[in-house]
Amino acid sequence: MKKAAFFGNNLRDLERVYAFGRKETVQGMADFYGTVITQDNIGEHLDALSDVNYIFTTWGMFAPTEEQLDAMPELEAVFYAAGSVKGFAEPFLKRGIRVISAANANAEFVADYAASQIQLAAKGFFHNFRCGDYRSFDTRNSRGIEGMFEICIGLIGAGFVGRKVLSRLVSLPSIHLMVYDPFLSEEEAASLGVKKASLEELFRECLVVSNHAPNIPETVGMLRKEHFSVMKKNSTFINTGRGATVVEDDLTAVLSGRPDIVALLDVTWPEPPAEDSLLLKLPNIFYTTHIAGALGNEVCYMADLCIEDLKRIEKGEAPVYGVSLEALKRMA
């Protein structure tokens, strides 16, 4: 039986992610070391980790030093039951150690959340919610709300989350989907049933624009005043991606003068916003505290994906959720 260990600085997250029998399942598939390895205690346990094959972890995983990795020559794979592996994966991957990421599980919940918001936005739910005088609200016309038919919906980013959102929308009748993603080829766009577009086209033509771009140097501050200012009447901007991709002062400046535009922000930069931020004060901005991704019992699904790939590796099969060095460059 292979040797394994739990790694991570946050013991509470390990317990809640590997809950409901997940911890017992992985412990039945490998011989686990008796102590959870943290950044503070790893030095004390390196001798005992010389034959460890698998690391199981979640939020709170740290990047070992080169010397620490040298002390674990039998290490084959790191199973990360959480989202981005950007902060620790590179040293492992450069040594040929597999890194399994459960970001795909997190993406499912973000996609469900975003797709739901898109449909509510198109129906005018958020405009209606804060419209003011309900007695004079024209339910037949809904103040120019277009609804979920013969409209354009735009997505920024066609990565893990973006593609899952598309899969939830593509079958809806008479919905025209547009995507901005420089890594998406025309052939891929056609296979997904979407039209490639520039950012300017997306904001100008779409009733709802949903941001799923990763936070990488190329995307920081890419959504600016010039985009928000051309949005359609009664349109909605949704951000479940990363706050740093938005110039938030530009967003609030435009929305201050355009009460017909709504912004739904699950992420900001920084998180949370400053107490005096207009992001928290404008009536046409709905702010939620980064709840789109896995939370509560949902986090256990990330452990499930790691268990699935462990079973594949044990059978001599290729893991489904492995991360490559090349893919790492484009990840948040």
pLDDT confidence bin for 114, thresholds 50/70/90:
very high
* CA–CA distance, 224 with 284 (Å, rounded to integer): 18
pLDDT confidence bin for 145, thresholds 50/70/90:
confident
pLDDT confidence bin for 326, thresholds 50/70/90:
confident
Mean pLDDT value of segment 237-248:
97
The total of other beta-carbon atoms located within 10 Å of residue 41's CB is 11
* CA–CA distance, 120 with 178 (Å, rounded to integer): 18
* CA–CA distance, 198 with 152 (Å, rounded to integer): 14
pLDDT at 300 over 70: yes
The arrangement of secondary structure in 3-104+296-330, i.e. its CATH architecture, is 3-Layer(aba) Sandwich (3.40)
Predicted pLDDT at 329:
78
Predicted pLDDT at 331:
74
Domain boundaries, the chain: 3-104+296-330, 106-287
CATH, domain range 106-287: 3.40.50.720
- Condensed to tens digits (0 to 9), the pLDDT of residues 154-168 reads 999 999 899 999 999
pLDDT at 131 over 70: no
Q: Which of 264, 273, 194 is nearest to 235 (CA)?
A: 264
pLDDT at 141 over 60: no
pLDDT at 239 over 90: yes
Say if residues 263 and 251 touch (Cβ distance below 8 Å).
Answer: yes
Q: What is the maximum span of the chain, computed from C-alpha positions, in angstroms?
A: 74
Say if residues 18 and 10 touch (Cβ distance below 8 Å).
Answer: no
**What is the four-CA torsion angle of 117, 289, 209, 283, rounded to 10 degrees?**
90
Determine the Cα angle at 118 with ends 115 and 122, to 5°. Answer: 145
Mean pLDDT value of segment 34-57:
98
| Residue 213 exposed, middle or buried by CB count within 10 Å (0-12, 13-18, 19+) | buried
The two domains 3-104+296-330 and 106-287 share their CATH topology (first three levels equal): yes
b vs e for 258-282, b when ≥16 Cβ sit within 10 Å of the residue's Cβ? eeebbbbbbbbeeeebeeebbbeeb
Average pLDDT, the chain: 94
Q: Is the pTM of this model over 0.75?
A: yes
Say if residues 65 and 90 touch (Cβ distance below 8 Å).
Answer: no
* CA–CA distance, 85 with 97 (Å, rounded to integer): 13
pLDDT confidence bin for 128, thresholds 50/70/90:
confident
Q: Which residues pair with 196 in a beta bridge?
A: 179
Say if residues 37 and 45 touch (Cβ distance below 8 Å).
Answer: yes
- Condensed to tens digits (0 to 9), the pLDDT of residues 256-265 reads 999 999 999 9
> E strands of the chain, at which residues?
3-6, 31-32, 54-57, 77-80, 98-101, 151-156, 175-180, 195-196, 208-211, 236-239, 262-265, 285-287
- Condensed to tens digits (0 to 9), the pLDDT of residues 272-289 reads 999 999 999 999 999 999
pLDDT at 198 over 90: yes
Q: Which of 67, 163, 96, 39 is nearest to 323 (CA)?
A: 96
Tokens of 130: 């804060």
- Condensed to tens digits (0 to 9), the pLDDT of residues 199-231 reads 999 999 999 999 999 998 999 999 999 999 999
pLDDT at 135 over 60: no
